[in-house]
A = this chain, B = another copy of it.
């Protein structure tokens, strides 16, 4: 059975070489050899050798490229043979640590090579294509981060100023803040930062710092230096051997060739694939618009045949829907109508929210209906033949209103009665806790004509597409439900709209579902299931209410402080809170299916593409997860692995070894 290098307890990534006391005379030396390039996976011996030096010296400072020596030195064939037998034994690219003593080769250790990113994908692909791995086995060996590391990082570093060039010695891209010692990296990690550890070269005693780092940069060293080997073992992006870069330990800064000075705390981005160090990090926009992680063809093919929880896409436009579909999404899990209200349209909605019902509102409602119908048509066409869950307007009414503080300051300067009137409305509608206020279905109940117009746009788009011979499959999702009666209210509105359009709910055939995002909806899942055709768990809001924590406010101050003090390992918004939110999720599955066996249950929320969360929701019995388009391939990978883990011992064992 294939055994892959384990991340060992002390983080040494299995390297023994530096610890081996060896005598290295003029006819001796230390070496580290790989059967494949550890960054790209290309077959062929690579590595390095330090004549007359110890293993520790080799790891600290690097050596000569092994490729130049393997065919000329007397110990070359022995190293080749050791790599060949080790590779055959492991059925995996091999790494051999050796010393030469008085001209004689002594192999210290043979292990499977620690591979990440493209190298790992390539090793798995080779074995899959040879037929020595089944699709499920191959899929189980690929980790989400390998696929992410293998993709082009150009979008993320686009536009950032280059600080220095070096050697990419461990692939991947990461952004963080500069620290200049292992101790500073440990402290920064404890403070909730993402330290980029910049050293002259790393030594074994720097291990705690490497374990805390987000990326590593060494002024010296090379592909086989300690820092590079450990970084690859840990999957951290690393750049070594900076060209012209100089650490100034007196000033505690890194002087770059361009005359730039990087100091502790500065933000940098490390591209360990290309070997470039950038100043600064990607903007929020760049992070949000990360390009999709595309799967290699063989992996996409292997996944398609495997079982697993279904993966849908969160798509608010025809474009997103098409992108998600191309990446393998099995439908839309969440289409947010509020995302269709941008620019001028936001003003229209704001007028509706600020006005009292009356004839002057008709024009705005008609305009909303027209553009929603057009947008929904695009979405349904892109997802033709696959389910598309359309959610009624969800966010706090508050978000569509002018900011009270700004309005009040502006108003104080004016002396205009009609302005004061509008300020009065804003003040009246202002809520102290908008997340706990008029939002989701509540807005829909208070402004039924706004609900009706959304439903009408959806039904009109659907009926028109059907008449045109297409196969639209919309589902209507009701957000922020806390009582079954709210669902009935929307159902009744839907029936009214159908009647106005000369059809019926049965004929329109649009299932009605409840979003489970209040704890009450989760606790009352069996009652709500009786009134719904499907349920969709919203993990973001459910987490906020279960914890009594607003994400936006908490992630600015409170959660970092908690992580800092050690009260919390991870933000519950980043990593699914299995104990409490997960417990409610399991309960929803149990209670809903007890009432309606086979009821369709989905999950949407930012955690829905995370491997741990996907496995949790798959095991809990949900039918699908839904995530942003770029995350769809990773979610599909996690879904197939989760299914594999449940079925096959092989995959489980391998996963644990990783």
Interface residues of A (CB under 8 A from B): 404-405, 408-409, 412-413, 431-438, 442, 445-446, 480, 482-483, 485-486, 489, 517-520, 523-524, 527, 541, 544-550, 552-554, 557-558, 561-562, 565-568, 577, 579-580, 583-584
Contacts and interface: CB of A to CB of B under 8 A. Distances in A.
Given A438-B557, A584-B523, A547 B482 contact: yes
A553 B432 contact: yes
A561 B553 CA distance: 29
A408 B435 CA distance: 23
B546 A519 contact: yes
A431 B580 contact: no
Given A404-B405, A445-B562, A436 B549 contact: yes
A151 B33 CA distance: 94
B546 A436 contact: no
A567 B489 CA distance: 8
Nearest to A440: B548
A545 B518 CA distance: 8
B405 A553 contact: no
Query: Counting chain B CB atoms within 10 Å of each CB, which of A432, A541, A566, A577 scores highest?
Result: A432
A568 B488 CA distance: 12
A524 B482 CA distance: 22
A346 B249 CA distance: 50
B405 A438 contact: no
A523 B548 contact: no
B489 A565 contact: yes
A435 B436 contact: yes
A548 B579 contact: no
A235 to B, nearest CB: 29
Contacts of A561: 445-446
Contacts of A486: 567
Return the 5 tightest CB-CB contacts between A and B, nearest first.
Answer: A436-B550, A433-B550, A518-B548, A519-B519, A520-B580
Given A436-B553, A552-B432, A442 B558 contact: yes
A487 to B, nearest CB: 10
A482 B433 CA distance: 19
A544 B483 CA distance: 14
B433 A480 contact: no
Contacts of A550: 431-433, 436-437
A580 B432 contact: no
A483 B566 CA distance: 12
A568 B485 contact: yes
A227 to B, nearest CB: 35
Nearest to A554: B437
Nearest to A520: B580
Contact of A434 (B408, B433, B437, B523): B433
Contacts of A437: 549-550, 553-554, 558
21 contacts: A405-B405, A408-B408, A431-B553, A432-B553, A433-B435, A433-B550, A436-B553, A437-B554, A445-B561, A445-B565, A446-B557, A446-B561, A480-B548, A482-B547, A482-B548, A489-B567, A518-B546, A518-B547, A523-B583, A523-B584, A524-B580
Nearest to A582: B523
Contacts of A583: 523
A548 B565 contact: no
A530 to B, nearest CB: 13
Nearest to A407: B405
Contacts of A545: 519, 545-546, 548
